Chains A and B, each alone.
Chain A
Amino acid sequence: MVSRVRAELRKLLGLPTAWVGLVLGTLTAPAIVLLNAPYTRRAIAAGTLTDTSDLGLRDLGVGLIGPMVLGVIAVSSEYTSTSQHAPGARQLTATLTAVPDRLRLLVAKTAALVLVVAAQAAVAATATLGLTQVLHGDHVPAPAPARVAGAILYWTLTALLAYAITLITRNGIVPLTLLVINSTVVSVSYLLTKITDLASYLPDIVGAQMFIRDADFPVEIAPLTAGLVMTAWVAVLLAIGAVLFQRRDA
């Protein structure tokens, strides 16, 4: 098992695009905190920020492109062609020859992704929240450990969401487009909450309630429940992806 996870880690970290995801995801949020420092200071002084304990945690959101890219690329790289000589030659063929048991392969792949993303989330969160403390420490309370853990979990689950959707679509563009446009300031999911309260239970909206307090969520959900609902989404999609992966020809 350990060797399989290590092989999957190597494969993931050997992809140039994965590094784009790693670098973007890790650096964007701290960079935003730095860039926005003057505005934030002014906003604090003017008292327009209602809940300053959200501050660093909110900025963390822009880094989510990192886990999204990593989750998508972990699967889509298996399906892109490795050779012009043989049509349909994919890395997956080699992968399945090395690890024919597909369920074990998926477990190893998932574990590798979780390891990378959780580490990235921890680094990004530490940098972002640390910077926020350094820059605005006098006005911003140190974030509660539970909320930081919630944010790291949110990153990891987002990566797994991207990963699961890609397993289902076998194509990287579709999940990437969906997830990225849905991570914008006014996301499509958020828009849907204006139409129906049910949309509050969409994974990205509900998951944010694990660590963000001050937002106009139409339905207040306790952090623990929020975490469970998002995990359930990911679990169901992963299960569908796993079943399809088992059944389909490579």
Chain B
Amino acid sequence: MITVDRVSKTRSRTRILHDVTFEARPGRVTGFLGPNGAGKTSTLRILLGLDRPESGAALICGRPYRKLDRPLTTIGALLDGSGAHRARTARAHLRWVAASNGLPDSRADEVLEIVGLTGDARKRAGRFSLGMSRRLGLATALLGDPEVLVLDEPVNGLDPVGIRWMREFLRNSAAQGRTVLLSSHLMSELAEIADDVIVIDKGRIVARGSLAEVTGDHRTLEDAFFALTATEAVRPW
């Protein structure tokens, strides 16, 4: 369960988030949608305790991130990049993360297997391709077998096999009762996996509800998105 309650944030004297409020519930995939620069990453970083909100609160299972004990067993997150230092091998990276939350070393190899990186365990993170880096990031998120997953643009950089795998993985996770929150600007992708949708534009939530509710009278989620965010469907470059 994720609760974001009236979160605001100013950066370089510009308000980038205005009273952002939403929920993501267990057993459902919640899509967080918005154009570039809308504030998706900023919101998720506050939720994950990386940045501080100016006002409001973001809670995971009723608690702020910084108050979680062994947080990786509650929540797994995937952000930009691999989250690993380039000079460390994938396995060495996962092992220190595992140690930090009191997880056994064997978890490192288990999650490498889940994301299909078993053969690259001894490779240094700096030598990974974009897609491999994302997989390593996901492996890190899965270490503690968390009940909540937060992913920022998870399919970014993945190949078609990886995208399909991710879709099924997230659906299965929700089916097992986990809370899944993922941001994206890929409409068709999101329409296929999201149960609930939150739309953010210029730092404000402009719509939230089930996929059907947000799509409303529009033909597709994409049409609804353009109507909601008032961006033109075709930009004359």
Binding site for B on A (CB under 8 A): 84-88
B79's nearest neighbour on chain A, judged by CB, is A84
Query: What 4 A-B pairs come out closest when comparing CB atoms?
Result: A84-B81, A84-B80, A87-B133, A85-B80
> Roughly how many angstroms separate A87 CA and B130 CA in the complex, as a whole number?
7
What are 7 sample pairs from A and B whose C-beta atoms fall under 8 A apart? A84-B80, A85-B156, A85-B157, A87-B127, A87-B128, A87-B133, A88-B126
B184 within 8 A of A: no
> Roughly how many angstroms separate A123 CA and B80 CA in the complex, as a whole number?
45
Number of A-B contacts (CB under 8 A): 21
Other 8 A-B pairs with CB < 8 A, given A84-B81, A87-B125, A87-B133: A85-B130, A85-B156, A85-B157, A87-B86, A87-B126, A87-B127, A88-B86, A88-B126
Q: What total of chain B residues lie within 8 Å of the partner, measured CB to CB? A: 12
> Roughly how many angstroms separate A213 CA and B184 CA in the complex, as a whole number?
69
> Roughly how many angstroms separate A87 CA and B157 CA in the complex, as a whole number?
12
Residues of the A chain whose Cβ atoms lie less than 8 Å from the Cβ of B130: 85-87
Residues of the B chain whose Cβ atoms lie less than 8 Å from the Cβ of A86: 130, 133
- Separation in Å of the A34 CB from the closest CB of chain B? 38
Residues of the B chain whose Cβ atoms lie less than 8 Å from the Cβ of A88: 86, 126-127
Would you give the 0/1 interface string for B131-161, flagging 1 where the beta carbon is closer than 8 Å to chain A?
A: 0010000000000000000000000110000
B30 within 8 A of A: no
- Separation in Å of the A95 CB from the closest CB of chain B? 19
> Roughly how many angstroms separate A86 CA and B86 CA in the complex, as a whole number?
11
> Roughly how many angstroms separate A85 CA and B82 CA in the complex, as a whole number?
8
Residues of the A chain whose Cβ atoms lie less than 8 Å from the Cβ of B157: 85
> Roughly how many angstroms separate A84 CA and B82 CA in the complex, as a whole number?
8
Residues of the B chain whose Cβ atoms lie less than 8 Å from the Cβ of A87: 81-82, 86, 125-128, 130, 133
> Roughly how many angstroms separate A35 CA and B46 CA in the complex, as a whole number?
49
Residues of the A chain whose Cβ atoms lie less than 8 Å from the Cβ of B80: 84-85
A85's nearest neighbour on chain B, judged by CB, is B80
Contact A85 B86 (CB under 8 A): no
Contact A85 B126 (CB under 8 A): no
- Separation in Å of the A217 CB from the closest CB of chain B? 43
Residues of the A chain whose Cβ atoms lie less than 8 Å from the Cβ of B86: 87-88
> Roughly how many angstroms separate A84 CA and B156 CA in the complex, as a whole number?
13
- Separation in Å of the B37 CB from the closest CB of chain A? 15
> Roughly how many angstroms separate A86 CA and B133 CA in the complex, as a whole number?
8
B134's nearest neighbour on chain A, judged by CB, is A85
